[in-house]
Amino acid sequence: MTDAVEYPDLVVVGAGLFGLTVAQQAVERLGVRVEIIDVRDHIGGNAYSYMDEETGAEIHKYGAHLFHTSNRRVWDYVNRFTSFTSYVHRVYATHDGEVYPLPINLGTINQFFHARYTPAEAKALIDGQAGELAGTDPQNLNDKGISLIGRPLYEAFIKNYTGKQWQTDPAELPAAIIKRLPVRFNYDNRYFRDTWEGLPTDGYTAWMERMIDDPRIHATLRTDFFDESQPYNRKALAAAGVPVVYTGPVDRYFGYELGDLKWRTVDFKEVRYDEDDHFGCPVMNFSDADVPYTRAIEFKNFNPERRDAQNHNRTVVWEEYSRFAERGDEPYYPINTDADKALYERYAARAAAEPNVVFGGRLGTYKYYDMHNVIDAALTAYEEQVAPMLRAR
């Protein structure tokens, strides 16, 4: 069956932002023909979204996606395909019957301690509380958290949330996870510190469709790279020497020969309310252990500029439940313990030696990448690996 196939110049496995960026670059810069395959029934990978007819909310199917970057190359690149709204991400957290602003800032600190500390007073207080680990260089999330914000705030806002999210002892998790969450001694509660942020004006899917709107790019959906009954499978492409960019899980590519990399996945429970606005914000975190989910997303609130087109009597909320991924689950977050990192390095060595295949993206390189990181990595991988591979043919 595969004999009759006329192969394209490049096959991209995975229609997420890594695969789409590489495909777009290959066509624009070398004029090649690209086939993108994805096992799902849509493009966009985890950044895919769809419109909910009942409420007018744009639902991010794989969890809330907020675009932010300080990388000029990435910002210029994405703006070729979409404009962005003026949305600024802000998150609130419910703890012990009260709602607090996140990330932890002077508002959180003063509400928590029922005080009116100035920035300097709050800093002195937190430095004192964090002092139990003074002089150490914390390498794990537990110690890093305590050294950043002191034990009382750590136990209120980080410990149980992290426990629910990672189901791994925070003492086993890399400190880098918590570096994502800043602490501020003023009332600034912008979640991200990046130069640019916003949501794609016409939605994520319209943005990503524009990236591959070219007759030289073709996408085949519901197609698994490892299914040998379809022509763009691993074995057939290797035999024909067709260049491949692979953005699926790296351990899956090698048949899990060295063992399984550990991932976390997320289950979503949809709840609909006969209300215009249930939380008053797009993301409410639940810091305590008695609420089984980590956070709830109220999608309508991401797009206040679409209010006229939204239903004012109904809203849709997704509660997010986190757990270890088994084989067959969607692998979302690399867990990245030291053992995982060592295992990944062994897979990475195998990947580097694989002829005609470039591995990329969150799954292909086992990295806790945001969208802007993935696009940046794809632009670099195109220049340094994919273009040379295509030119060598």
Q: Is 295 a catalytic residue?
A: yes
Minimum Å distance from CB 216 to ligand FAD?
A: 20
**Cβ nearer to ligand UDP, comparing 212 with 266:** 266
Question: Whole-number minimum distance, CB 367 to ligand UDP, in Å?
Answer: 12
| C-beta of 62 vs 75, nearer to ligand UDP | 62
**Which of 158, 175, 244, 296 touches ligand UDP (CB under 6 A)?**
158
When CB distances are held under 5 to 8 angstroms depending on the partner's kind, the choice from ligand FAD, ligand UDP, none that residue 375 binds is: none
Q: Is 39 in the site for ligand FAD (CB under 6 A)?
A: yes
Q: Which of 29, 72, 80, 180 is catalytic?
A: 180
Binding flag, residue 285, ligand UDP (CB under 6 A): yes
Identify the bridge partners of residue 35 per DSSP, sorted by sequence position. Answer: 11, 218
- φ/ψ (deg, to 5) at 386: -75, -45
Which of ligand UDP, ligand FAD, none sits in contact with 178, Cβ below 5 to 8 A by type?
Answer: ligand UDP
180 labelled catalytic: yes
Task: Exactly one of 197, 298, 319, 370 is catalytic; name it.
Answer: 370
Min CB(369)–ligand FAD separation in Å: 4
DSSP helix, strand, coil percent of the chain (3-state; round to 5): 40, 20, 40
| Catalytic residue check, 368 | yes
Consecutive H or E run containing 50: strand 49-51
Catalytic residue (choose from 50, 117, 273, 368): 368
Residues 6 or more apart whose Cβ sits within 8 Å of residue 273: 314, 315, 317
Is 332 a residue that touches ligand FAD (CB under 6 A)? yes
350 is catalytic: no
Q: Is 219 in the site for ligand FAD (CB under 6 A)?
A: no
Report CA 172 to chain centroid distance, whole Å.
21
C-alpha to C-alpha distance for 379 and 161, rounded to whole angstroms = 34
What's the token pair of residue 234? Answer: 């691993």
Measured CA angle at 269 (ends 85, 249), to 5 deg: 75
- Is residue 284 a contact point for ligand UDP (CB under 6 A)? no
* Residue 178 touching ligand UDP (CB under 6 A): yes
Radius of gyration of the chain (CA): 23
- Residue 374 CB: number of other CB atoms within 10 A? 26
Kindly state the smallest distance separating residue 97's Cβ from ligand UDP, in Å: 16
Q: How far apart are CA 301 and CA 90, in angstroms?
A: 11
Phi-psi category of 152—alpha, beta or left, where left has phi over 0 and alpha has psi -120 to 50? alpha
Among 259, 243, 321, which residue's Cα sits nearest to residue 32?
243
Q: Which stretch binds ligand UDP (CB under 6 A): 154-162, 193-201, 241-249, 256-264?
A: 154-162
> How many CB atoms lie under 10 A from the CB of residue 152?
15
Helices (H), 42-140: 72-78, 106-112, 119-130
Annotation says 33 is catalytic: no
Binding site for ligand UDP (CB under 6 A): 93, 102, 157-158, 161-162, 165, 177-178, 180-181, 285, 287
Q: What residues act catalytically?
A: 180, 184, 264, 295, 320, 368, 370
Residues in contact with ligand FAD by CB under 6 A are: 13-19, 37-40, 45-47, 62-67, 224-226, 247-248, 266, 332, 361-363, 369-372, 374
